[in-house]
């Protein structure tokens, strides 16, 4: 009886960790792609707020039309969230890549700007509706339900651990695997990594540095913004929460360091961080909730110190990360 209870608790913890790590996975792999091209975008928090607000708004207003389909709402929410994040990252790219402004300052400004835009959008919808903004129960079932048949979900242990998550978990895993393959096994990925390591050398080899930086930063920002939408639609229950996304983007930035700039490591890293976030709630640990919330950051700092001491090249950040490229100095 005791063993069964422990097993059930472990399965419940893993499931909750995966679900809570889903939004972090999107934010992390989006920032990994951005940083691989040498751009340090600290505005992930703002991008996730924008993605959450605009993604929810797209699904909410679409749901008010006649004959609305839940599956179309999912696609629409993903698309609008991606475009919102891509637009925010495009602004960042123009300022840091074309105008060559300081990336740290610009990223922090984007974080504040994006958070403000997202919160304004959420409050605007709330005021317009005269009450809280939430998608219908039909839509919630589609956003939060598993895409697999009930028979697979009901398999003891395996069903809950593998087949019972929402569609965004599997989509995030797919994006991470594809991103790893592109970065490590394709000509485009090689060029992108070359730009992040030494833009001057890449430029001399005939690689269009500016184009690759824009491409990685805009697409990466769009992916990160999808994470904000996933959080609102799944963890927050499809209801707009003014401060619900606070801290998610910064956790994603910390997770980039923890996973050593690898999309595949981000898969289990996001589960670990998600588990740390729910550990306090699941096991009622006798520690303040604030301590539980900073555990992921402590783990990220420990990993950063460890990789700095080991000094393995493959575990280091791209050499040109955070530095503006001045072509005339080549």
Mean pLDDT of the chain: 90
| Residue 26 CA, distance from chain mean position | 3
Give the single-character DSSP code of 43: T
Read off the CATH number of the domain in which 118 is found. 1.10.3470
Q: What is the mean pLDDT of residues 240-252?
A: 88
Domain extent for 149: 2-329
pLDDT of the residue at 184: 95
Burial (CB count within 10 angstroms: exposed 0-12, middle 13-18, buried 19+), residue 287: exposed
Residue 134 main-chain phi, psi, to 5 deg: -150, 145
Q: Note whether 180 and 263 are within 8 A (CB).
A: yes
How many distinct structural domains can be found in the chain?
A: 1
* pLDDT tens digits along 262-290: 999 999 999 998 988 887 666 666 677 67
* pLDDT tens digits along 151-164: 999 898 888 899 99
Tokens 């890449």, located at residue: 202
Q: How confident is the model at residue 299 (pLDDT cuts 50, 70, 90)?
A: confident
Tokens 């039909």, located at residue: 138
- How many whole angstroms separate alpha carbon 245 and alpha carbon 252? 12
Return the structure tokens found at 308: 């700095």
pLDDT of the residue at 92: 98
Between the two ends of the chain, the Cα-to-Cα distance in Å is 69
- How many whole angstroms separate alpha carbon 122 and alpha carbon 1? 47
Give the lowest-confidence range in 189-193, 210-214, 278-282. 278-282
């Amino acid at each position: 009886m005791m063993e069964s209870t422990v097993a059930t608790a472990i399965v419940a913890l893993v499931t909750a960790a995966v679900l809570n790590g889903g939004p972090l996975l999107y934010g992390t792999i989006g920032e990994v792609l951005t940083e691989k091209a040498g751009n340090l975008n600290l505005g992930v928090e703002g991008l996730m707020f924008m993605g959450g607000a605009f993604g929810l708004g797209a699904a909410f207003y679409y749901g008010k039309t006649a004959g609305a389909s839940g599956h179309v709402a999912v696609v629409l929410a993903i698309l609008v969230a991606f475009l919102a994040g891509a637009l925010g990252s495009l602004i960042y790219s123009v300022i840091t890549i074309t105008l060559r402004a300081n990336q740290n300052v610009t990223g922090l400004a984007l974080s504040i700007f994006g958070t403000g835009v997202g919160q304004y959008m959420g409050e605007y919808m709330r005021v317009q509706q005269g009450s809280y903004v939430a998608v219908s129960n039909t839509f919630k079932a589609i956003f939060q339900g598993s895409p697999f048949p009930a028979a697979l979900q009901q398999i003891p242990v395996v069903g809950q651990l593998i087949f019972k998550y929402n569609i965004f978990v599997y989509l995030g895993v797919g994006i991470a695997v594809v991103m790893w393959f592109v970065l490590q096994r394709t000509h485009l990925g090689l060029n992108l990594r070359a730009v992040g390591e030494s833009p001057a050398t890449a430029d001399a080899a005939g690689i269009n540095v500016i184009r690759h930086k824009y491409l990685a930063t805009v697409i990466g920002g769009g992916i990160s913004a999808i994470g904000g939408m996933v959080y609102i639609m799944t963890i927050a229950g499809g209801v707009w929460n003014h401060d619900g996304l606070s801290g998610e983007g910064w956790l994603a930035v910390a997770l980039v360091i923890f996973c050593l700039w690898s999309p595949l490591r981000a898969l289990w890293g996001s589960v670990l961080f998600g588990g740390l976030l729910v550990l306090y709630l699941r096991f009622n640990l006798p520690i303040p909730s604030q301590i539980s919330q900073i555990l992921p950051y402590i783990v990220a700092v420990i990993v950063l110190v460890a990789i700095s001491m080991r000094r393995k090249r493959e575990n280091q950040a791209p050499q040109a990360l955070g530095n503006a490229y001045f072509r005339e100095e080549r």
